[in-house]
Amino acid sequence: MDSDPERPAAPPRTLLVVARGDVAEERPLGDLAALLADPDARLWIDLQNTGEAGFDALAPALTFHPMAVEDCVSDINHPKVDDYRDYLYLALHSARWDDVSQEPVIKEIDVLIGKNYLVTYHEEETRGIERARALLARRGDLLMRGPDHLLYYILDVMVDNYMPIIDTIHGNLDELEERVLRHPDREVLADILRLKRGLAALRRVVGPQRDTILAMTRDEFASIRPEIRPYLRDIFDRMARISDMLDSFRDELATMLDIYVSQVSNQLNEVMKVLTAITVIIVPVTLIASIYGMNVSYPGVNTVVGFWWSAGLMGATALGMWLYFRSRKWL
């Protein structure tokens, strides 16, 4: 799922932050052309739910390829990186776990990074963007050290936010395992399939995002400076561990489904075993009753003693068969 249905759409907002030295401040969008011409300025432009109008407002000071703009304003649903020579386009995804639906709430963040500017676009509020904005108010050097350094910080927060999801999934797996072994019913099966679907949705994002970050660690893109690549490799290592853990969780869920099927099959076998034993025990009792029901003379016929003798014979036969089944551990 690509959005959070419980939250209303974020209001449109355009944020322009410029850093000089250790000071970062918000400036009106009308100063964009002059700030881009300043070689000592580093810019961050955050567009929140503005659509194409937000990019139109940046022109003519800052223009982007129509395909890059289209990718920003539409949900492409998978991470990727495109090199437009003068700038780099990135599609990234943050996530949080919805405990009710047992699925991830995935939010797309689009990034355009040039030599002295960073443009981010998102339709909903995201923790990485908000934390970067709050930190810039105290530490302007976060942006002054370069747009790629600010991008690293946003990625760092984004990856950190994946870890609570991993912990939640791990806890849900432990709980489901206990329920499968203790009382496997249809509700447990539904929860397993729901978690499996949510895990698959998360893996579809984490795997490509890991590869996207890996591409940024190579000497391929001019917008990413060599001194930033070791930090990005650290991000990649953490994403790789998250991806490996998700693969492990997928295998655990597959094993859990097998255990569920085995448990249900065992329960069915127990029920069938009891029913079969009951049927086998009743058959000789029915046979005795059928023989005597044919008016066959037997000791004590037409007397009370005879009735109790025949009833005792049937009871003894049933008890004997039950004891035999118990001795063979069939019951």
Whichever domain contains 165, its CATH number is: 3.30.460.20
Asked if residue 162 belongs to a domain, the reply is yes
Task: Give CA–CA dist 137/152, Å, rounded.
Answer: 18
Q: Cα-flanking dihedrals φ and ψ of residue 262, to 5°? A: -65, -40
Question: Taking a C-beta distance cutoff of 8 angstroms, is the pair 30, 42 a contact?
Answer: no
Shared domain for 258 and 278, answered yes or no, is no
pLDDT recorded at residue 1? 42
Q: Cα-flanking dihedrals φ and ψ of residue 327, to 5°? A: -65, -30
Shared domain for 174 and 144, answered yes or no, is yes
pTM across the whole model:
0.79
Strand-pairing partners, residue 118, are 44, 113
What is the amino acid identity at position 241?
R
Strand-pairing partners, residue 242, are none
Question: Taking a C-beta distance cutoff of 8 angstroms, is the pair 188, 176 a contact?
Answer: yes
Shared domain for 82 and 207, answered yes or no, is yes
Q: Residue 18: helix, strand or coil by DSSP?
A: strand
Number of domains in the chain: 2
Task: Give CA–CA dist 322/319, Å, rounded.
Answer: 5
Task: Give CA–CA dist 5/105, Å, rounded.
Answer: 9
**What is the chain's pLDDT, residue by residue, as a tens digit (331 residues)?**
444 545 556 789 999 999 987 888 999 999 999 999 999 999 999 999 999 999 999 999 999 999 999 999 988 768 889 999 899 999 999 998 888 887 888 899 999 999 999 999 999 888 889 999 999 888 888 999 999 999 999 999 999 999 999 999 999 999 999 988 888 888 888 989 999 999 998 999 999 999 999 999 887 788 899 999 999 999 999 999 999 999 999 999 999 989 888 888 877 777 787 777 778 778 877 877 776 666 666 666 666 676 777 778 778 887 887 787 777 666 6
256-267: b (≥16 Cβ within 10 Å) or e: beebbeebbeee
Beta strand 23-26 with 88-98 is unpaired
Residue 303 belongs to what domain range? 269-327
Shared domain for 273 and 255, answered yes or no, is no
Shared domain for 258 and 275, answered yes or no, is no
190's enclosing H/E stretch is helix 186-216
